[in-house]
Amino acid sequence: MQFPGRRKKVIGSSQNDLYDHCLQFYGQPPLENISLTEFETFAVERLKLLKSVENIGVSYVKNSEQYVKKLDAEFSSLNFPLRTELGDRRVQGGTSEYEKRRKDHISHFILRLAYCQTEDLRRWFIQQEMDLFRYRFGELTSKHKTDFLHKNNLKYETVSAEEKKSLKDKLITSSYGLSGITVEEYDFYKVPFQDALDLVRTRKVYLLAGNAYIPHHEIVTIVLNDFRTRLSKALAMTARSLPAVQSDERLQPLLSHLSHAYVGQDYSIQKNMGKISLEQIDALSGKSFPLCMRHLHKALRENHHLRHGGRMQYGLFLKGIGLTLDQALQFWRSEFVKGKVDADKFDKAYAYSVRHMFGKEGKRTDYTPYSCMKVILSNPPSQGDYHGCPFRHSDPELLKQKLQNYKVSPSGINQLLPMLAEILELVKGMHYQLACQKYFELTHNVEDAGFSLNHPNQYFTESQKLLGGGLEIKKEVDMSQRSQENPANMTRPSQANSKQAHEEMGDLDSFFQDE
Amino acid sequence: MSTSDYDPACLPDLLPLYYRRLFPFSQYYRWLSYGGVSKNYFQNREFSFTLKDDIYVRYQSFTTQNELEKEMQKMVPYKIDIGAVYSHRPSQHNAVKSGTFQALEKELVFDIDMTDYDDVRRCCSAADICSKCWTLMTIAIRILDRALREDFGFHHLLWVYSGRRGVHCWVCDDAARKLSVAARSAVAEYLSLVKGGEETVRKVVLSDPIHPFINHSLSVVERYFQQYAIVDQDILGSKESVDKVLAVLSPLCRQMKSFTREGSSVSYDLHFSCVSVKSNSKKGGQYFDKEIMLQYCYPRLDVNVSKGVNHLLKSPFSVHPKTGRISVPIDLKELDTFDPFEVPTISLICEELEKPRAEEAEEDDMKDKENEQEAGERRRIRDYKRTSLAKYVKVFDRFLEAMARSRKGEMLKKSDLQKDF
């Protein structure tokens, strides 16, 4: 893989061939020289774009009308390719479509360098690029979709008319919005189920003998799967070539700043170790724990046990608020021993997993407390589980009851009912984190939480700050002013590591702090 | 009586006997070698043992069948788990450069545990099972077996009784063993219909259109529902349990006519004459009868067990220390008559071993004196045949035969293709 800005390379084919489609699979890296300024600018602008993709994806249902409108606006303001025709018409003093596509191409590859290094970074990058791709593919006309498939050699086997006829009833009932007529008219593709996992997972497609029968309009899911696989492989390869790039002092500070600025604080560095005593936990759970952790704590106290999912979610949260390993061991043991587990069994079976959480066993990874995204999206609870996000995973009726019981400050009673209604509305709209923020406002009796919630430990920290708790919590670079206008905005640069680069990149920072 | 009064305290005496004379090592090795098609497949497989006093050891691996036997006879594990096939020998994982030791392949597995049904069974709870609730396992096996074969195209499925309160499924096809984490999780989610924990009352939500998979599953449930839910579990037998059923629907129904039994035959026609449901016609309201049947009967699987490529699962033919029962393969042809309480315990089969031998056995013994190892194996084959374990090993044999035939078919296909050039 060649890195722009380092070597002289022959400029590729003529303008028109290179970027003749507004969408691309990023199969070929760019082969030209660019200036360092362009390198920086492109990278930062794409990063802003991906960040918007993430935020807008949290505030609106993906691919809904508002979602699309918002993203369209971002695209225009950041000068990324929007139109499908490559006309070289220049908007007054603006950039041509060709230039936008070139930027799209180059900026993607630059960000690969910044985001290939760790599993978390890769996952984030792939997720946003996929959402971006899905949005852009969805905006193409049918003809352009087919064009795209042909250009990129994505050949999927079509289902014959006879087969469609014999499976007609099954096909109609497997996808939403199909009728006998549409099944006859539209193309269906037969792909191995492994290539259509998203459709299989949600049972949106007919499966027979290991093949998924995909209606034409769902083809985007298959393409996305392909996209994800390719990108994943490419990132792994990029990671291997990275040392060569990092040795270039012009690029290294930029790349490192890029990847640190956007993962948000992960609470892996415990600043408050040992500042909490075990006796405080019960009280704290009522005052400063988010609902999910309060729920878990209560279940633990009542049943003297938690299953694996609950132990992980709650245990890591406790680590994040400052429990030391010894405290954690004591905490879990004393509770489990009250139940069916004797001290011996605890030491043999459960102590290991507590130590594992603190990075003292096995791979010795110091696991990070789960963010809201992780709690909401992965590992839904089943029978006997208490983990997950109550706003996402509880029945709205039960949630309502629970909220009423978990009471609020006495003066809040009058606001209780309308607030509850607001919370339930947010839950219906799938804005679980916003609902939790409202819960924060309700329980702390404030008008505005003053931050945008994306991590249970953040909830705790903010709550303690508000209540003037006895913990010294170092203040991060404060982005919370912005959050009031834009509640879905989720950035908090992490401290220490980027501080150095931070100073060197004075100018660059202004990119991250505006809006 | 199959139990033969099993006492966990006897394990230290019974296990060595079991591993020396009864455990079907040669079939076991044959299984995990998968025809020797992939190099080092058996050698790179992880096993984990739980030894006496709950000592747990991971990353056990063996180079030959003989080594497996010797080690198991030496260590006498109380529990045996099978893990993934790794990139290197698990027993040497520490010597491998960090990051390069990876789980590569493993069977696709499912674990159905009776405790996950506690909210819908009245006869037992937690680790207990009885003949009334065992039907849930039968239903689970029928539904999942059909789906894995017909929808996903898998052929080689081994269903195993876990020894106490559930069943496991090992999908052993080549394609299954190579599945990624994402694919495994997608398969498990496709097969999941009952969602939600303590906090969810209505755990099954159906809406138009009803996917063919759901329809297939419903027809299985319907076959068993009358006997299982109405008669055995008696879910309409008391006000309390009827209320529980109705509670699932309560968000949908404001007024319910109370449901009455008619004389001695219970009509389980769940089309309640509930006016408010029909007229409100909230989304999903029209399938509540199906939803209730599914919530009470549809298989509940633990997605986490199926997801991980490196997940360790109890091995077939291992002993369950608490019940003494052997984890035996289930013959699907006899599924409806399978009785977990008839599964042999280790004490039973060890006892059966001590019974006086037939004459032919003595003759073979003489021949064996010539070849020690072969002798050991032949004796062992004769040995388990004398016990209740025999019929279960036969099920396993048939399973292995089918895989071998299929492998042969594949090779012929491949060589045919090559000749075509």
Q: Is B113 considered catalytic here?
A: yes
Average pLDDT over residues A159-166: 87
Asked if residues B51 and B75 have their Cβ atoms less than 8 Å apart, the reply is yes
Global pTM reads 0.68
Residues from chain B that touch A206, judged by Cβ atoms under 8 A, are: 211-212
Average pLDDT over residues B327-349: 95
**Of the listed B107, B111, B232, B352, which one is catalytic?**
B111
Distance from CA of B154 to the nearest CA of A (A): 7
Which are the contacts of A426, defined by CB distance < 8 A and separation ≥ 6? A391, A432, A434, A435, A438
Contact (CB<8Å) B196/A197:
no
Q: Which residue of B has its CA nearest to A205?
A: B211
pLDDT band at B368 (very low <50, low <70, confident <90, very high): low
The fraction of chain A above a pLDDT of 70, given in percent, is 79
B105 or A400, which is more confident: B105
Tell me which residue in A309, A379, A395 faces B199 most closely, judged by beta carbons: A395
Q: Convert A34-103 into a string of H (helix), E (strand) and C (coil).
A: CCHHHHHHHHHHHHHHHHHHHHHHHHCCCCCHHHHHHHHHHHHHHCCCCCCCCCCCCCCCCCCHHHHHHH
Q: Which residue of B has its CA nearest to A363?
A: B98
pLDDT band at B362 (very low <50, low <70, confident <90, very high): low
Average pLDDT over residues A241-253: 79
Q: Give the N- to C-terminal CA distance of chain A in Å, as an integer.
A: 35
B41 touches chain A (CB under 8 A): no
Is residue B168's pLDDT more than 60?
Answer: yes
Is residue A503's pLDDT more than 90?
Answer: no
Contact (CB<8Å) A383/B251:
no
B126 touches chain A (CB under 8 A): no
How many other C-beta atoms lie within 10 A of the C-beta of residue B254?
11
Closest CA to B85 of B108, B56, B107, B57: B107
Residues from chain B that touch A382, judged by Cβ atoms under 8 A, are: 116, 194-197, 300, 302
The alpha carbon dihedral of A456, A457, A460, A463 has a sign of negative
Q: Is B107 considered catalytic here?
A: no
CA distances from A248 to A9, A42, A65, A106, A116 (A): 18, 18, 44, 18, 17
Contact (CB<8Å) A207/B151:
yes
Contact (CB<8Å) B189/A194:
no
* Counts of helices then strands in chain B (DSSP H, E): 15, 8
A306 or A176, which is more confident: A306
A372 is in an annotated binding site: yes
pLDDT band at B300 (very low <50, low <70, confident <90, very high): very high
Which are the contacts of A460, defined by CB distance < 8 A and separation ≥ 6? A284, A288, A289, A290, A293, A317, A320, A321
Contact (CB<8Å) A398/B175:
no
Distance from CA of B175 to the nearest CA of A (A): 10
**pLDDT at residue B219, as a whole number:** 93
In sequence order, what are the beta bridge partners of A489?
A: none
Q: How far apart are CA A508 and CA A39, in angstroms?
A: 12
Burial class of residue B35 in the structure, from the number of CB atoms within 10 Å of its CB (0-12 exposed, 13-18 middle, 19+ buried): middle
Is residue A462's pLDDT more than 80?
Answer: yes
Q: Is B234 considered catalytic here?
A: no
Q: Which residue of A has its CA nearest to B248?
A: A395
Residues from chain A that touch B189, judged by Cβ atoms under 8 A, are: 201-202
Average pLDDT over residues B255-281: 38
In sequence order, what are the beta bridge partners of B265?
A: B262
Is residue B252's pLDDT more than 60?
Answer: no
Average pLDDT over residues A376-399: 87
Q: How far apart are CA B390 and CA B381, in angstroms?
A: 9
Tell me which residue in A201, A383, A399 faces B118 most closely, judged by beta carbons: A383
Q: How far apart are CA B205 and CA B290, in angstroms?
A: 9
Asked if residues B193 and B205 have their Cβ atoms less than 8 Å apart, the reply is no
B283 touches chain A (CB under 8 A): no
Which 8-state DSSP code applies to residue A474?
P
Please give the distance of CA A246 from its chain centroid, rounded to a whole number.
Answer: 27
Closest CA to A76 of A121, A130, A139, A24: A139
Contact (CB<8Å) B196/A382:
yes
Contact (CB<8Å) B186/A381:
no
Tell me which residue in A206, A308, A398 faces B199 most closely, judged by beta carbons: A398
Q: Around A319, how many Cα atoms within 13 Å sit in the side-chain half-sphere?
A: 24
For every residue of A128-172, DSSP letters joined together read HHHHHHHHHHHTS-HHHHHHHHHHTT---EEPPHHHHHHTHHHHH
B304 touches chain A (CB under 8 A): yes
**pLDDT at residue B280, as a whole number:** 40
Would you say how long chain B is, in residues? Answer: 421
pLDDT band at B243 (very low <50, low <70, confident <90, very high): confident
Average pLDDT over residues B53-62: 95
CA distances from B415 to A390, B38, B45 (A): 57, 17, 29
Is residue B55's pLDDT more than 90?
Answer: yes
pLDDT digits (tens, 9 = 90+) for B387-414: 999 999 999 999 999 999 999 998 888 8
Distance from CA of A171 to the nearest CA of B (A): 9
Selected residue of B110, B125, B200 to mutate for chain A interface (largest A Cβ count, 10 A): B200
Give me the residue label for tokens 């790349």.
Answer: A255
* Lowest-pLDDT choice from A246-255, A474-483, B92-101: A474-483
A118 or A346, which is more confident: A346
**pLDDT at residue A265, as a whole number:** 56
Q: Which residue of A has its CA nearest to B188?
A: A201
Asked if residues A8 and A33 have their Cβ atoms less than 8 Å apart, the reply is yes
Selected residue of A382, A387, A391 to mutate for chain B interface (largest B Cβ count, 10 A): A382
Give me A5's structure tokens: 């800005």
Closest CA to A214 of A224, A206, A223: A206
Residues from chain A that touch B126, judged by Cβ atoms under 8 A, are: none
Asked if residues A172 and A179 have their Cβ atoms less than 8 Å apart, the reply is yes
What's the one-letter identity of residue B249?
L
- Share of chain B residues as helix, strand and coil, in percent rounded to the nearest 5: 50, 10, 35
Contact (CB<8Å) A203/B211:
yes
Backbone angles phi, psi at A492, to 5 degrees: -145, 110
Selected residue of B204, B211, B250 to mutate for chain A interface (largest A Cβ count, 10 A): B211
B189 touches chain A (CB under 8 A): yes
Contact (CB<8Å) A200/B190:
yes
B183 touches chain A (CB under 8 A): yes
Average pLDDT over residues A332-347: 89
Is residue B317's pLDDT more than 90?
Answer: yes
Average pLDDT over residues A180-208: 88
Residues from chain B that touch A194, judged by Cβ atoms under 8 A, are: 179-180, 183
The alpha carbon dihedral of A383, A385, A389, A395 has a sign of positive
In sequence order, what are the beta bridge partners of B79?
A: B50
**Of the listed B69, B81, B107, B113, which one is catalytic?**
B113
Asked if residues B36 and B17 have their Cβ atoms less than 8 Å apart, the reply is no
B198 or A190, which is more confident: A190
Asked if residues A59 and A487 have their Cβ atoms less than 8 Å apart, the reply is yes
B127 touches chain A (CB under 8 A): no
**pLDDT at residue B250, as a whole number:** 62
Contact (CB<8Å) B304/A348:
no
Buried b (16+ CB within 10 A) or exposed e, A62-90: eeeeebbebbeebbeebbbbeebebeeee
pLDDT band at B249 (very low <50, low <70, confident <90, very high): low
Q: Which residue of A has its CA nearest to B202?
A: A395
Distance from CA of B197 to the nearest CA of A (A): 4
Contact (CB<8Å) B152/A206:
no
Backbone angles phi, psi at A497, to 5 degrees: -55, -45
Closest CA to A48 of A491, A476, A501, A480: A491
Tell me which residue in B182, B201, B209 faces A172 most closely, judged by beta carbons: B209
Tell me which residue in A201, A388, A399 faces B186 most closely, judged by beta carbons: A201
Q: How far apart are CA B96 and CA B44, in angstroms?
A: 13
Is residue A233's pLDDT more than 50?
Answer: yes
CA distances from A182 to A138, A167, A204, A205 (A): 20, 13, 16, 15
Contact (CB<8Å) A348/B195:
no
Contact (CB<8Å) B153/A173:
no
Burial class of residue A398 in the structure, from the number of CB atoms within 10 Å of its CB (0-12 exposed, 13-18 middle, 19+ buried): middle
pLDDT digits (tens, 9 = 90+) for A256-288: 777 665 445 566 655 666 688 889 999 999 889
pLDDT digits (tens, 9 = 90+) for A381-390: 988 899 999 9
Q: How far apart are CA B74 and CA B64, in angstroms?
A: 15
**pLDDT at residue A11, as a whole number:** 36
Which 8-state DSSP code applies to residue B319?
B
Selected residue of A126, A202, A207, A344 to mutate for chain B interface (largest B Cβ count, 10 A): A207
Contact (CB<8Å) A200/B186:
yes
A22 is in an annotated binding site: no
A116 is in an annotated binding site: no
